[in-house]
């Protein structure tokens, strides 16, 4: 048998329903179709035509795909393919049946329910594993890429129905020499989850993501984001200068033991903050499993099932968004 040096195939995708929408495009639940009735459920991020034509935006979208293509980790949403059809760029990704962390916390507020501290810490421990993978990632030649996510926020953290925690959307992430970045000129990320250095338009490093982890943890434990202001500018001012609340008074009784970890994440001086995602992960997991057992994917899955007892957890009401096409790469890839 002769060795195969190149193998090509055209894979059609059937769009099922929109599951998320943004100003630049939409994410769909879709079916990847193969021979003999093969089907695989995937998520497809499709960029609006007008943005697909803009060189800078196109460069960033392609950069995102290149950046995450080799980030293979259980806690990162996988990217399978970058394509172009109907004059639009699209990205094929792992489909996570579940909810994002923002939806998860809104459900707690709707039910007037407090999230157990150990599950909050479990989510951040898994998130820190994902960030450790991204922060430490090297290219095929062993060169450290210097990836910083820069948008760690509840909307970008997925909770799968099987209890998986997955980080997604590296759309504004940066890496050395790979993605276009205007650090020092523009603010990247949601204003109420930024690190102080992002708010000050300073160059970031992985420790910026760890501050954002602290904000997310505080929100899960107390039910609100302590830095949210009436405007984005006020939120950024709060992040940079607002005295930190005494979380010990706000935390659930058992959750008070998380206070040292929380305060270390939220140090405004980077040198006093956790220096790596691995350090944060170790401290969280030492606390969680000090007695030899602690929260698991299975425990989170059961909690999700009970939280959404009506079965509506994984169906977004976005039916007004049109599913207008099937992606067929044969058209113009």
Q: Which CATH superfamily is domain 13-95 in?
A: Phosphorylase Kinase; domain 1 (3.30.200.20)
181 vs 256 pLDDT, higher one: 256
Residues ≥6 apart with Cβ < 8 Å to 170: 64, 67, 68, 71, 134, 147, 149
Asked whether residue 246 carries a pLDDT value surpassing 80, the answer given is: no
What's residue 188's pLDDT? 58
Token readout for 131 is: 């960030």
> Cα(238)–Cα(227) distance, rounded to whole angstroms?
5
**74 Rama sector, left if φ>0, alpha if ψ -120 to 50, beta otherwise:** alpha
Closest CA to 83 of 69, 62, 100, 110: 62
Give the residue, 160 or 174, on which the prediction is more confident.
160
Q: What is the pLDDT of residue 175?
A: 59
**Catalytic residue chosen out of the listed positions 112, 139, 151, 283:** 151
Q: What is the pLDDT of residue 53?
A: 83
CB 209 within 8 A of CB 194: no
Q: What is the pLDDT of residue 319?
A: 40
- Return the SS3 of 126: helix
pLDDT confidence band for 44 (50 / 70 / 90): very high
**pLDDT band, residue 266 (cuts 50/70/90):** very high
Which pLDDT score, from 0 to 100, does residue 4 have?
Answer: 66
Buried b or exposed e, range 74-113, using 16+ CB within 10 angstroms: ebbbbbbbbbbbeebbbbbbbbbebbbbebbbebeeeeee
Using 50, 70 and 90 to split pLDDT, how confident is the model at 309? confident
What is the mean pLDDT of the segment spanning 13-42?
89
Q: Give the SS3 label for residue 170.
A: coil
pLDDT at residue number 321: 41
The Cβ of residue 191 has, within 10 Å, a number of other Cβ atoms equal to 20
Q: How confident is the model at residue 313 (pLDDT cuts 50, 70, 90)?
A: low
Q: Check whether 94 has a pLDDT greater than 50.
A: yes
Q: What is the pLDDT of residue 117?
A: 94
Catalytic residue check, 36: no
**pLDDT of the residue at 49:** 84
The helix (run of H) or strand (run of E) holding residue 277 is: helix 277-288
Is the CATH number of domain 98-307 1.10.510.10? yes
**What's the pLDDT score for residue 248?**
67
What does the pLDDT read at residue 332? 52
The answer, yes or no, to whether residue 245 has pLDDT greater than 60, is yes
pLDDT per residue as tens digits for the range 174-218 = 655 444 455 544 445 678 999 999 988 888 899 999 999 999 999
pLDDT of residue 35: 86
* Structural domain spans, the chain: 13-95, 98-307
Structure tokens at 83: 């394509």
Calculate the average pLDDT of the chain.
85
> Computed from CA positions of residues 48, 54, 59, 60, in that sequence, does the dihedral angle turn out positive or negative?
negative
Mean pLDDT confidence for 307-316: 68
């Amino acid at each position: 048998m002769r060795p195969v040096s190149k193998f090509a195939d055209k894979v059609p995708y059937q769009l099922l329903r929109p599951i998320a929408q943004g100003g630049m495009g939409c994410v769909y639940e879709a079916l990847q179709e193969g021979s003999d009735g093969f089907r695989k459920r995937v998520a497809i991020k499709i960029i609006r035509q007008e943005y697909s034509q803009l060189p800078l935006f196109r460069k960033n979208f392609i950069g995102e795909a290149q950046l995450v293509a080799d980030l293979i980790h259980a806690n990162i949403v996988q990217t399978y393919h970058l394509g172009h059809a109907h004059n639009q760029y699209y990205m094929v990704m792992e489909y996570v049946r579940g909810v994002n962390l923002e939806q998860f916390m809104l459900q707690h507020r709707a039910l007037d329910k407090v999230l157990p501290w150990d599950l909050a810490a479990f989510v951040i421990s898994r998130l820190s594993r994902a960030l450790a993978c991204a922060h430490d990632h090297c290219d095929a030649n062993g060169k450290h890429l210097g990836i910083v996510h820069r948008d760690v926020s509840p909307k970008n953290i997925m909770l799968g129905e099987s209890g998986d925690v997955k980080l997604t959307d590296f759309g504004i992430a940066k890496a050395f020499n790979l993605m276009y970045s205007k650090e020092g000129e523009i603010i990247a990320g949601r204003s109420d989850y930024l690190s102080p250095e992002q708010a000050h338009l300073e160059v970031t490093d992985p420790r910026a993501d760890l501050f954002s982890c602290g904000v997310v943890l505080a929100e899960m434990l107390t039910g609100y984001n302590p830095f949210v202001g009436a405007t984005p500018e006020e939120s950024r001012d709060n992040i940079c200068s607002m005295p930190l609340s005494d979380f010990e008074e706000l935390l659930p009784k058992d959750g008070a033991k998380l206070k040292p970890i929380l305060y270390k994440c939220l140090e405004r001086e980077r040198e006093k903050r956790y220096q790596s995602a691995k350090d944060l992960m170790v401290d969280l997991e030492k606390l969680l499993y000090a007695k030899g057992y602690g929260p698991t994917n299975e425990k989170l899955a059961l909690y999700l099932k009970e939280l959404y007892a009506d079965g509506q957890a994984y169906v977004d009401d976005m039916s007004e968004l049109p599913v207008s096409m099937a992606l067929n790469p044969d058209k113009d890839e």
